[in-house]
Amino acid sequence: MTDIKSLTFPELQAFVLDSGFPKFRAAQISGWLQKGVTDFDEMRNLPESIRSYLKTSCYISVANIEKKFVSRYDKTVKYLFSFCDGECVESVLMSYRHGWSICISTQVGCKMGCTFCATGKSGYSRDLTASEMLAQIEAAQRDQNIRVSNVVLMGMGEPLDNYENVLRFLRIVSDEKGLNIGMRHITLSTCGIVPKIEQLARERLQINLAVSLHAPNDEIRSRTMPIAKAYPMERLLEACGYYFEMTGRRVTFEYALISGVNDSDACAKELGKRLRGMNCHVNLIPVNTVEGTGYQKSNLQRQQSFENILAADGVTATVRRTLGSDINASCGQLRRKHLKEGGQ
Ligand code: SAH
Ligand code: SF4
Protein backbone atom coordinates (compact mmCIF):
# COMPACT_ATOMS: atom_id res chain seq x y z
CA MET A 1 0.00 0.00 0.00
CA THR A 2 1.32 3.45 -0.90
CA ASP A 3 1.40 6.09 1.84
CA ILE A 4 -0.14 8.70 -0.46
CA LYS A 5 0.37 11.69 1.86
CA SER A 6 4.11 11.02 2.09
CA LEU A 7 4.50 11.56 -1.68
CA THR A 8 5.88 14.87 -2.90
CA PHE A 9 3.74 16.54 -5.57
CA PRO A 10 5.95 15.36 -8.50
CA GLU A 11 5.87 11.84 -7.02
CA LEU A 12 2.08 12.01 -6.78
CA GLN A 13 1.89 13.10 -10.41
CA ALA A 14 4.11 10.19 -11.43
CA PHE A 15 1.98 7.80 -9.38
CA VAL A 16 -1.23 9.06 -11.03
CA LEU A 17 0.28 8.73 -14.53
CA ASP A 18 1.70 5.26 -13.82
CA SER A 19 -1.75 4.20 -12.66
CA GLY A 20 -3.15 5.20 -16.04
CA PHE A 21 -5.02 8.36 -14.97
CA PRO A 22 -4.65 11.89 -16.37
CA LYS A 23 -2.04 14.08 -14.69
CA PHE A 24 -4.50 16.78 -13.55
CA ARG A 25 -6.01 14.30 -11.09
CA ALA A 26 -2.88 14.70 -8.95
CA ALA A 27 -3.76 18.33 -8.14
CA GLN A 28 -7.29 17.32 -7.19
CA ILE A 29 -6.07 14.53 -4.92
CA SER A 30 -3.47 16.80 -3.34
CA GLY A 31 -6.13 19.47 -2.66
CA TRP A 32 -8.30 16.98 -0.78
CA LEU A 33 -5.38 15.60 1.18
CA GLN A 34 -4.51 19.07 2.45
CA LYS A 35 -8.07 19.60 3.59
CA GLY A 36 -7.43 16.66 5.87
CA VAL A 37 -9.85 14.17 4.30
CA THR A 38 -9.58 10.76 5.88
CA ASP A 39 -11.36 8.69 3.22
CA PHE A 40 -10.99 8.53 -0.58
CA ASP A 41 -14.80 8.68 -0.88
CA GLU A 42 -14.65 12.28 0.35
CA MET A 43 -12.78 13.21 -2.88
CA ARG A 44 -16.00 14.10 -4.62
CA ASN A 45 -14.61 15.40 -7.91
CA LEU A 46 -12.87 12.08 -8.66
CA PRO A 47 -14.75 9.43 -10.64
CA GLU A 48 -15.70 6.27 -8.77
CA SER A 49 -13.17 4.24 -10.82
CA ILE A 50 -10.25 6.33 -9.52
CA ARG A 51 -11.52 6.36 -5.95
CA SER A 52 -11.83 2.58 -5.84
CA TYR A 53 -8.39 2.19 -7.40
CA LEU A 54 -6.91 4.49 -4.75
CA LYS A 55 -8.70 2.56 -2.01
CA THR A 56 -7.07 -0.69 -3.04
CA SER A 57 -3.57 0.70 -3.63
CA CYS A 58 -3.09 3.54 -1.10
CA TYR A 59 -3.85 4.63 2.43
CA ILE A 60 -4.33 8.09 3.95
CA SER A 61 -2.46 8.51 7.20
CA VAL A 62 -4.51 10.20 9.89
CA ALA A 63 -3.80 11.61 13.34
CA ASN A 64 -6.77 10.81 15.60
CA ILE A 65 -7.43 13.03 18.58
CA GLU A 66 -7.04 10.69 21.53
CA LYS A 67 -7.03 13.43 24.17
CA LYS A 68 -7.20 17.20 24.04
CA PHE A 69 -6.51 19.85 26.66
CA VAL A 70 -7.31 23.53 26.26
CA SER A 71 -5.51 26.01 28.47
CA ARG A 72 -7.58 28.29 30.69
CA TYR A 73 -4.90 31.01 30.57
CA ASP A 74 -4.22 31.31 26.84
CA LYS A 75 -5.37 29.67 23.61
CA THR A 76 -2.86 26.81 23.83
CA VAL A 77 -4.27 23.39 22.89
CA LYS A 78 -2.40 20.21 23.62
CA TYR A 79 -3.22 17.03 21.70
CA LEU A 80 -2.45 13.39 22.21
CA PHE A 81 -2.78 11.93 18.70
CA SER A 82 -2.91 8.25 17.83
CA PHE A 83 -1.96 6.65 14.51
CA CYS A 84 -3.27 3.53 12.77
CA ASP A 85 -1.10 1.19 14.85
CA GLY A 86 -2.26 2.78 18.11
CA GLU A 87 1.04 4.57 18.82
CA CYS A 88 0.60 8.05 20.31
CA VAL A 89 2.44 11.36 20.07
CA GLU A 90 1.88 14.85 21.40
CA SER A 91 1.48 18.16 19.58
CA VAL A 92 0.90 21.62 20.96
CA LEU A 93 -0.94 24.39 19.14
CA MET A 94 -0.10 27.92 20.29
CA SER A 95 -1.50 31.31 19.43
CA TYR A 96 0.92 34.21 18.97
CA ARG A 97 0.41 37.73 17.72
CA HIS A 98 1.74 36.69 14.30
CA GLY A 99 -0.54 33.67 14.02
CA TRP A 100 -0.82 30.02 14.96
CA SER A 101 2.23 27.94 15.64
CA ILE A 102 2.29 24.19 16.10
CA CYS A 103 4.88 22.07 17.83
CA ILE A 104 4.85 18.60 16.32
CA SER A 105 6.50 15.26 17.08
CA THR A 106 8.87 13.44 14.73
CA GLN A 107 9.23 10.09 16.52
CA VAL A 108 7.22 8.00 18.95
CA GLY A 109 9.52 8.46 21.95
CA CYS A 110 13.23 9.16 21.58
CA LYS A 111 16.49 7.21 21.83
CA MET A 112 18.59 10.09 23.13
CA GLY A 113 17.78 9.70 26.83
CA CYS A 114 18.22 13.27 28.10
CA THR A 115 17.66 13.02 31.84
CA PHE A 116 15.36 16.08 32.20
CA CYS A 117 13.03 15.07 29.37
CA ALA A 118 9.76 13.18 29.78
CA THR A 119 10.01 11.81 26.22
CA GLY A 120 13.53 10.56 26.82
CA LYS A 121 12.34 8.81 29.95
CA SER A 122 9.63 6.73 28.27
CA GLY A 123 11.92 5.23 25.61
CA TYR A 124 11.66 4.89 21.82
CA SER A 125 9.05 3.04 19.78
CA ARG A 126 9.39 4.08 16.16
CA ASP A 127 10.00 6.87 13.66
CA LEU A 128 7.09 8.85 12.25
CA THR A 129 6.53 9.00 8.51
CA ALA A 130 6.32 12.35 6.70
CA SER A 131 2.56 11.89 6.39
CA GLU A 132 2.20 11.39 10.14
CA MET A 133 4.00 14.69 10.73
CA LEU A 134 1.68 16.42 8.24
CA ALA A 135 -1.35 14.72 9.77
CA GLN A 136 -0.68 16.39 13.14
CA ILE A 137 -0.89 19.83 11.49
CA GLU A 138 -3.97 18.98 9.45
CA ALA A 139 -5.80 17.47 12.42
CA ALA A 140 -5.17 20.55 14.58
CA GLN A 141 -6.19 22.92 11.77
CA ARG A 142 -9.37 20.98 11.20
CA ASP A 143 -10.17 20.75 14.91
CA GLN A 144 -9.74 24.49 15.59
CA ASN A 145 -10.75 25.71 12.14
CA ILE A 146 -7.57 27.75 11.75
CA ARG A 147 -4.50 27.93 9.47
CA VAL A 148 -1.14 27.25 10.99
CA SER A 149 1.59 29.70 9.94
CA ASN A 150 4.60 28.36 11.88
CA VAL A 151 5.82 24.87 12.60
CA VAL A 152 8.37 23.80 15.18
CA LEU A 153 9.84 20.31 15.24
CA MET A 154 10.21 20.34 18.99
CA GLY A 155 7.72 17.76 20.13
CA MET A 156 8.60 14.19 20.89
CA GLY A 157 11.64 12.72 19.20
CA GLU A 158 14.94 13.77 17.71
CA PRO A 159 14.26 15.03 14.17
CA LEU A 160 17.81 14.42 12.94
CA ASP A 161 17.57 10.79 14.08
CA ASN A 162 14.73 10.44 11.53
CA TYR A 163 16.45 12.44 8.81
CA GLU A 164 14.92 11.07 5.60
CA ASN A 165 11.32 11.30 6.79
CA VAL A 166 11.85 14.77 8.26
CA LEU A 167 13.41 16.05 5.02
CA ARG A 168 10.52 14.61 3.04
CA PHE A 169 8.10 16.30 5.46
CA LEU A 170 9.89 19.66 5.07
CA ARG A 171 9.69 19.47 1.28
CA ILE A 172 5.98 18.57 1.27
CA VAL A 173 4.84 21.04 3.96
CA SER A 174 6.60 23.95 2.26
CA ASP A 175 5.42 23.10 -1.26
CA GLU A 176 3.21 25.76 -2.81
CA LYS A 177 0.87 22.99 -3.83
CA GLY A 178 0.90 21.63 -0.28
CA LEU A 179 0.29 23.40 3.03
CA ASN A 180 2.65 26.09 1.70
CA ILE A 181 4.30 26.91 5.01
CA GLY A 182 7.56 28.59 4.05
CA MET A 183 10.88 27.15 5.26
CA ARG A 184 11.59 30.39 7.13
CA HIS A 185 8.51 29.68 9.24
CA ILE A 186 9.80 26.28 10.27
CA THR A 187 12.18 25.55 13.15
CA LEU A 188 13.95 22.24 13.70
CA SER A 189 15.30 21.54 17.16
CA THR A 190 18.10 19.02 17.69
CA CYS A 191 20.06 17.70 20.64
CA GLY A 192 23.16 18.07 18.46
CA ILE A 193 23.88 15.15 16.12
CA VAL A 194 26.84 16.85 14.47
CA PRO A 195 27.14 14.94 11.13
CA LYS A 196 23.40 15.40 10.54
CA ILE A 197 23.60 19.14 11.25
CA GLU A 198 26.34 19.34 8.63
CA GLN A 199 24.25 17.31 6.18
CA LEU A 200 21.26 19.57 6.82
CA ALA A 201 23.44 22.65 6.26
CA ARG A 202 24.41 21.30 2.84
CA GLU A 203 20.72 21.02 1.86
CA ARG A 204 20.70 24.83 2.14
CA LEU A 205 17.08 24.94 3.25
CA GLN A 206 15.98 28.17 4.86
CA ILE A 207 14.70 26.54 8.04
CA ASN A 208 15.67 27.82 11.48
CA LEU A 209 17.93 25.57 13.48
CA ALA A 210 17.56 25.33 17.26
CA VAL A 211 20.20 23.43 19.17
CA SER A 212 19.58 22.10 22.67
CA LEU A 213 22.71 23.09 24.55
CA HIS A 214 21.68 23.18 28.21
CA ALA A 215 25.26 23.51 29.50
CA PRO A 216 28.38 25.63 29.03
CA ASN A 217 30.81 22.68 28.78
CA ASP A 218 31.01 18.94 28.04
CA GLU A 219 31.37 17.92 31.65
CA ILE A 220 28.06 19.46 32.75
CA ARG A 221 26.38 18.68 29.45
CA SER A 222 27.15 14.98 29.60
CA ARG A 223 25.49 14.77 33.03
CA THR A 224 22.10 15.41 31.44
CA MET A 225 22.59 14.69 27.72
CA PRO A 226 24.19 11.37 26.68
CA ILE A 227 24.72 12.74 23.13
CA ALA A 228 27.42 15.05 24.58
CA LYS A 229 29.68 12.01 24.95
CA ALA A 230 29.46 11.31 21.21
CA TYR A 231 29.95 14.90 19.99
CA PRO A 232 31.93 17.41 22.04
CA MET A 233 30.59 20.95 22.27
CA GLU A 234 33.55 22.28 20.32
CA ARG A 235 32.49 20.26 17.26
CA LEU A 236 28.83 21.08 17.85
CA LEU A 237 29.49 24.82 17.86
CA GLU A 238 31.62 24.47 14.71
CA ALA A 239 28.73 22.67 13.02
CA CYS A 240 26.40 25.52 14.05
CA GLY A 241 28.82 28.02 12.51
CA TYR A 242 28.82 25.94 9.35
CA TYR A 243 25.01 25.92 9.33
CA PHE A 244 25.01 29.73 9.47
CA GLU A 245 27.66 29.92 6.75
CA MET A 246 25.70 27.66 4.40
CA THR A 247 22.20 29.02 5.02
CA GLY A 248 22.60 32.54 6.42
CA ARG A 249 20.17 31.56 9.18
CA ARG A 250 21.01 32.49 12.75
CA VAL A 251 21.14 29.50 15.10
CA THR A 252 19.16 29.47 18.35
CA PHE A 253 20.47 27.71 21.42
CA GLU A 254 17.99 26.21 23.86
CA TYR A 255 19.09 26.33 27.48
CA ALA A 256 16.82 24.86 30.16
CA LEU A 257 17.76 26.40 33.48
CA ILE A 258 17.96 23.68 36.12
CA SER A 259 18.49 24.79 39.67
CA GLY A 260 21.95 23.88 40.95
CA VAL A 261 22.89 22.02 37.75
CA ASN A 262 23.62 24.56 35.01
CA ASP A 263 22.35 27.93 36.28
CA SER A 264 25.26 29.43 38.23
CA ASP A 265 26.89 32.75 37.33
CA ALA A 266 30.04 30.77 36.50
CA CYS A 267 28.03 28.72 33.96
CA ALA A 268 26.64 31.93 32.43
CA LYS A 269 30.15 33.42 32.16
CA GLU A 270 31.57 30.31 30.53
CA LEU A 271 28.67 30.14 28.10
CA GLY A 272 28.99 33.83 27.26
CA LYS A 273 32.69 33.39 26.53
CA ARG A 274 32.04 30.42 24.23
CA LEU A 275 29.20 32.03 22.28
CA ARG A 276 30.63 35.55 22.08
CA GLY A 277 30.85 36.74 18.48
CA MET A 278 28.66 33.94 17.14
CA ASN A 279 25.58 34.89 15.19
CA CYS A 280 23.13 33.28 17.57
CA HIS A 281 20.38 33.74 20.10
CA VAL A 282 19.91 31.95 23.42
CA ASN A 283 16.47 30.86 24.62
CA LEU A 284 16.49 30.44 28.37
CA ILE A 285 13.73 28.12 29.55
CA PRO A 286 13.03 27.49 33.23
CA VAL A 287 13.10 23.66 33.19
CA ASN A 288 9.73 21.95 33.33
CA THR A 289 9.57 19.73 36.33
CA VAL A 290 9.18 16.14 35.20
CA GLU A 291 8.20 13.54 37.77
CA GLY A 292 11.06 11.33 38.82
CA THR A 293 13.88 13.60 37.64
CA GLY A 294 14.33 15.58 40.85
CA TYR A 295 15.17 18.69 38.81
CA GLN A 296 13.77 22.07 39.83
CA LYS A 297 13.41 25.33 37.90
CA SER A 298 15.85 28.12 38.64
CA ASN A 299 14.25 30.99 40.53
CA LEU A 300 13.48 34.32 38.87
CA GLN A 301 16.56 36.00 40.27
CA ARG A 302 18.82 33.24 38.85
CA GLN A 303 17.10 33.50 35.47
CA GLN A 304 17.63 37.26 35.40
CA SER A 305 21.22 37.06 36.49
CA PHE A 306 22.01 34.42 33.83
CA GLU A 307 20.45 36.56 31.12
CA ASN A 308 22.32 39.68 32.25
CA ILE A 309 25.71 37.95 32.27
CA LEU A 310 25.17 36.70 28.71
CA ALA A 311 24.08 40.18 27.63
CA ALA A 312 27.29 41.62 29.08
CA ASP A 313 29.18 39.38 26.65
CA GLY A 314 27.04 40.61 23.77
CA VAL A 315 25.08 37.34 23.58
CA THR A 316 21.38 38.01 23.18
CA ALA A 317 19.20 35.86 25.37
CA THR A 318 15.55 35.84 26.35
CA VAL A 319 13.71 33.96 29.01
CA ARG A 320 10.99 32.16 27.11
CA ARG A 321 7.39 32.85 28.01
CA THR A 322 5.63 29.65 28.99
CA LEU A 323 2.35 28.98 27.21
CA GLY A 324 -0.16 26.42 28.40
CA SER A 325 1.51 26.05 31.77
CA ASP A 326 -1.68 24.60 33.24
CA ILE A 327 -1.90 21.74 30.71
CA ASN A 328 1.64 20.34 30.89
CA ALA A 329 2.24 21.76 27.44
CA SER A 330 5.86 20.69 27.30
CA CYS A 331 6.04 17.55 25.25
CA GLY A 332 6.41 14.01 26.46
CA GLN A 333 4.50 14.42 29.69
CA LEU A 334 1.11 13.49 28.33
CA ARG A 335 2.22 10.32 26.56
CA ARG A 336 4.18 9.28 29.64
CA LYS A 337 1.03 9.61 31.73
CA HIS A 338 -0.96 7.74 29.07
CA LEU A 339 1.59 4.88 29.13
CA LYS A 340 1.52 4.73 32.90
CA GLU A 341 -2.26 4.49 32.80
CA GLY A 342 -1.98 1.44 30.57
CA GLY A 343 -2.16 3.07 27.11
CA GLN A 344 0.07 2.05 24.23
N1 SAH B 1 14.95 16.22 20.36
C2 SAH B 1 15.00 17.58 20.02
C3 SAH B 1 13.64 18.23 19.89
C4 SAH B 1 12.60 17.80 20.87
S5 SAH B 1 12.86 18.31 22.53
C6 SAH B 1 15.88 18.35 20.99
O7 SAH B 1 16.25 17.78 22.01
O8 SAH B 1 16.19 19.49 20.70
C9 SAH B 1 12.40 20.03 22.42
C10 SAH B 1 13.07 20.91 23.42
O11 SAH B 1 12.54 20.72 24.72
C12 SAH B 1 14.56 20.70 23.53
O13 SAH B 1 15.24 21.92 23.56
C14 SAH B 1 14.67 19.97 24.85
O15 SAH B 1 15.96 20.06 25.38
C16 SAH B 1 13.60 20.67 25.65
N17 SAH B 1 13.16 19.98 26.85
C18 SAH B 1 12.99 18.65 27.06
N19 SAH B 1 12.58 18.41 28.31
C20 SAH B 1 12.47 19.63 28.91
C21 SAH B 1 12.08 20.05 30.22
N22 SAH B 1 11.74 19.18 31.16
N23 SAH B 1 12.09 21.37 30.48
C24 SAH B 1 12.45 22.27 29.54
N25 SAH B 1 12.82 21.94 28.29
C26 SAH B 1 12.84 20.63 27.98
FE1 SF4 C 1 15.06 13.26 22.87
FE2 SF4 C 1 15.07 15.92 22.69
FE3 SF4 C 1 14.01 14.69 24.84
FE4 SF4 C 1 16.64 14.67 24.48
S5 SF4 C 1 15.34 16.47 24.83
S6 SF4 C 1 15.39 12.91 25.04
S7 SF4 C 1 16.79 14.53 22.28
S8 SF4 C 1 13.27 14.59 22.75
Provide the pLDDT for residue 337. Answer: 57
Q: Is 331 annotated in the active site?
A: yes
> How confident is the model at residue 97, as a pLDDT?
87
Is 227 close to ligand 1, i.e. is its CB under 6 Å away?
no
At 197, give phi and psi (nearest 5°). -65, -40
Dihedral, 341, 121, 261, 275 alpha carbons, nearest 10: -130
pLDDT at 68: 95
pLDDT at position 290 over 80: yes
Q: What spacing in Å lies between the alpha carbon of 158 and ligand 2's midpoint?
A: 6
Any atom of ligand 1 within 6 Å of the Cβ of 87 = no
- Please tell me the number of the ligand nearest to residue 254's CA: 1
- Alpha-carbon gap, residue 116 to 225, rounded angstroms: 9
**What b/e sequence results for 161-186 when a residue is b if at least 16 CB atoms lie within 10 Å of its CB, and e otherwise?**
bbbebbbbbbbbbbbebbbebebebb
What is the residue with the minimal CA distance to atom 4 of ligand 2?
114
Per-residue pLDDT, 102: 96
Which range (36-40, 54-58, 165-169, 170-174) has the least confidence?
A: 36-40
- The span from the CA of 260 to the CA of 276, in Å, is 24
Contact indicator for 339, 119 with CB cutoff of 8 Å? no
Cα of 264 from ligand 1 centre, angstroms: 20
**Tell me, what's the pLDDT at 46?**
97
pLDDT value, residue 121:
84
**Pocket lining: 161 vs ligand 1, CB cutoff 6 Å:** no
Q: Is 319 helix (H, G, I), strand (E, B) or coil?
A: strand
Average pLDDT value for residue range 321-344: 59
Regarding the beta carbon of 110 and ligand 2, being less than 6 Å apart is answered yes
- Strands of 121-277 (E only): list them: 124-127, 148-153, 186-190, 208-212, 251-257
C-alpha to C-alpha distance for 214 and 225, rounded to whole angstroms: 9
Protein residue closest via CA to atom 11 of ligand 1:
154
For the stretch 115-165, pLDDT in tens is: 999 998 889 999 999 999 999 999 999 999 999 999 999 999 999 999 999
Non-local CB neighbours of 3 within 8 Å, separated by 6+ positions = 58, 59, 61, 129, 131
